[in-house]
Amino acid sequence: MAKVHPETILPIGTSSDKNPIVLTVWKKSLLFGCYGFTVYDSTGNLKFRVDNYTTSGSREIVLMDAFGRTLHTIRRKMLSMVDNFLVYDGEDVVNPRFTVTKHVNVLNSKSLAYVSTSKNWMKRNVRYEIEGSYAHKSCMVYDYTRRQCIADIRRKEAKGGVALGGDVFSLVVQPSTDPAMAMALVIALDQMFDHSRHTFR
């Protein structure tokens, strides 16, 4: 298989002198018999991992660092009219850090989801808006008020222009954004829009 960790990617426009963080996301668990994600930095070192068993009834996903320490716990909100995911810091599942809600307005097909700091994004506390197509691995995460891109998902190709497929893609995170938070958004998007495999319910 072609090497999956990143080569140099041209950054999107940013006012910062620092370069964006470029991660390679591989939809494959490091553990046999598990569904998950393996995320590498630009030098090929392990950055994040998800190793959830696809057991019936599981509705919790754990994002870990390279050493297996829990960074975020992602839970599907039950009894919700639309796909709604609560993201918690660490293993504490009492007060969510933010909520990711699937966009359902057919008149605005660009929007995929909204990220808010409480359980109800309709209360005008939206922090980020996600636009584009997750299926085509072409998504942008915007600051809701300033309309600045803070992270984006891109297709990835190996050297020579060989496509690596939909299970390997790039996550480009701007310097002011927490990469773990951006990866938590990827997990929520995957739950909402990837219907090709079993989802955590």
At residue 130's C-alpha, the angle toward residues 129 and 135, to 5°, is 165
- Between CA 157 and CA 192 the distance in angstroms is 25
Architecture of domain 21-193: Beta Barrel (2.40)
67: how many CB neighbours lie within 10 A of its CB? Answer: 7
**pTM confidence score:** 0.83
Tokens in use for 71?
A: 């960074």
pLDDT tens, position by position, 32-64: 767 889 999 999 999 999 987 554 445 789 999
Please list, residue by residue across 119-158, b when 16 or more beta carbons sit within 10 angstroms of its beta carbon and e when fewer do. Answer: eebeeeebbbbbbbebeebebbbbebeeeebbbbbbebee
CB 168 within 8 A of CB 158: no
Going by pLDDT thresholds of 50, 70 and 90, the confidence category of residue 1 is very low
pLDDT tens, position by position, 59-103: 789 999 999 999 999 998 877 677 899 999 999 888 899 999 998
